[in-house]
Amino acid sequence: MLQLIEKGNFLSLSRTQPSLFSSPLSFSLDNGTYVTVTAPGIISFHPQTPPKHKKFIVLSCGVHGNETAPIEICDDMVQQILTGTLALSHPVLFLFGNLPAMDIGERFVEENMNRLFSGAHSAGEGCVNDERKRAKALEDAVSNFYDDASNQDTKYHYDLHTAIRASKNEKFAVYPYLHERKHSRSQLAFLHACGVSTILLSESATTTFSYYSSHQHGAHAFTVELGKVKPFGQNDMSRFEQARQAFIALVSLDDYAPDISLDSLDIYRVNQVINKHKEDFTLHFADDTPNFMDYAKGTCLASESGAEYVAQQDGEAIVFPNANVEIGQRALLTVVPTTLEESDV
Ligand code: ZN
C-alpha cells in the first residue's frame, strides 16, 4: 500500500503483481481522497469535498490492449492523484481494460472485448474466457460506481482508444445510439477541447462499452479515438496533450464547460454496416487507406461471393475497415456527413 501511495504505480503493480489486488481494498490519501481498488486495473477516487452537483466520471482505456497512448494518459493521471499532485473535484473511476493483452502487445487475447458489453459477455457459449469475464467485471465496476450518484449528479464515460489505421481525421469520437435521448452540444464542445473535431453518430444498439454506459446508465458516453496505435513508449505524447489537459480540467475543476464553437466539427452518421459473410470477403481499397476516406457514389468498396458493397451516395466515407474479422462480424462501416438536429440540446 505504501508503495502505491508513494509511487502511484497502480497500473504497473496491476500488471506485474495482480495478486496484490485479488481482494478489494480502500484507503484515504493525505488530502482526504478516498481510494478503492476492487481488482487489478480497477481503481476509483472520491474527493473529500465534492461540489453540490457531482460529475461521476469514468475514464477507461486498454479495452484493446495495444492502444497504448490512452493507457499512458490514464496511468499518469492515476499516478498524479495517488501521489497528491492532482487534486480531484469529482469522483473518478479509472478502468485499465485488458491487462493480459497489454502484456503481449495485442488488441486482444481471444476475443475483441469491445463487442462483449451489454450482456454479450454471457451470451452464446457464456462467460467462458478471460475477456468475457473481464467485460462483465468492467460493467459491474461502472454500475457500482454510478450507484452512488444522486439524481442531481451527472454521469460521464469516455472509453479511450487509438485506431489501427491512420485517419484523415486523426481524432474522432463515436456517439453511441441514444434511442429517445438528445445529443449534447456541451459534450461535443468538451470533445472539441480534447482535440476531437470529428463525431460519428451511431444509429443502432451495439455491444461496445460506451453504448453500455450510455444506454444502461444514461451517461454521457463516447468511444474516443485519439490517434494511431503505437507500442508503449513510442507515442508522440504532444499529440495527446490537448486531450490530457481537457481530462485533467474535467476531473479537477468544479465545472469545466469549455465554450467552443461547434461550427468546425465534422459530423457523420453511419450509412452502412457491412458484415463479413464469406471467407472471400475483400476490401476494394489499399490496406493503408485512412479512416474517413470518401468515395463517389457507385464506387465498389468491398465484395464477397454473391455480394458487392458500393458507396450509395457521393462523399460516403469508410471507417474501421477490417477484412480479417470472424464470419458474421462487422468488416466495414460507411458514414455520410450529417448535422445535429435543432432539438439536440
Ligand atoms: Zn480500440
Mean pLDDT across 126-155: 97
The pLDDT tens digits of the residues spanning 192-224 come to 999 999 999 999 999 999 999 999 999 999 999
pTM for this model (two decimals):
0.94
pLDDT of residue 83: 96
Yes or no: say if 295 and 317 are a contact pair by the CB < 8 Å rule.
yes
State in Å: Cα 271 to ligand 1 middle. 21
Residue in the structure block whose three cell numbers are 464553437: 261
Query: Which one of 72, 225, 304, 316 is the catalytic residue?
Result: 225
Buried b / exposed e along 147-164 (16+ C-beta atoms within 10 A): eebeeebebbbbbbbbbb
pLDDT of residue 168: 77
- Nearest residue to 285 (alpha-carbon basis) of 334, 251, 234, 214: 334
The pLDDT tens digits of the residues spanning 247-264 come to 999 999 999 999 888 888
Share the mean pLDDT of the chain: 94
Residue 172 confidence class, pLDDT cut points 50, 70, 90: very high
Q: What's the CA angle centered on 68, arms 67 and 74, to 5 degrees?
A: 115
State in Å: Cα 340 to ligand 1 middle. 25
235 has a pLDDT exceeding 90: no
236 has a pLDDT exceeding 90: no
pLDDT of residue 214: 98
Q: Which three cell numbers stand for residue 341?
A: 438536429
Catalytic site includes residue 304: no
Mean pLDDT across 155-180: 91
pLDDT of residue 206: 92
Residue 165 confidence class, pLDDT cut points 50, 70, 90: confident
State in Å: Cα 27 to ligand 1 middle. 32
Q: Determine what percent of the chain is predicted with pLDDT higher than 70.
A: 100
State in Å: Cα 58 to ligand 1 middle. 16
Pairing relationship of beta strands 172-175 and 154-163 according to DSSP bridges: unpaired
pLDDT of residue 8: 95
Residue 230 confidence class, pLDDT cut points 50, 70, 90: confident
State in Å: Cα 6 to ligand 1 middle. 31
- For residue 167, give the DSSP letter: B
pLDDT of residue 228: 84
CA–CA distances in Å: residue 20 to residues 95, 98, 152, 326: 17, 17, 36, 36
Q: How far apart are CA 57 and CA 145, in angstroms?
A: 9
Which residues have CB under 8 Å from 228's CB, separation 6+?
Answer: 162, 163, 164, 165, 166, 167, 170
The pLDDT tens digits of the residues spanning 305-343 come to 999 999 999 999 999 899 999 999 899 999 999 998 877
Map residue 225 onto helix, strand or coil: strand
Yes or no: say if 177 and 301 are a contact pair by the CB < 8 Å rule.
no
The pLDDT tens digits of the residues spanning 41-63 come to 999 999 999 999 999 999 999 99
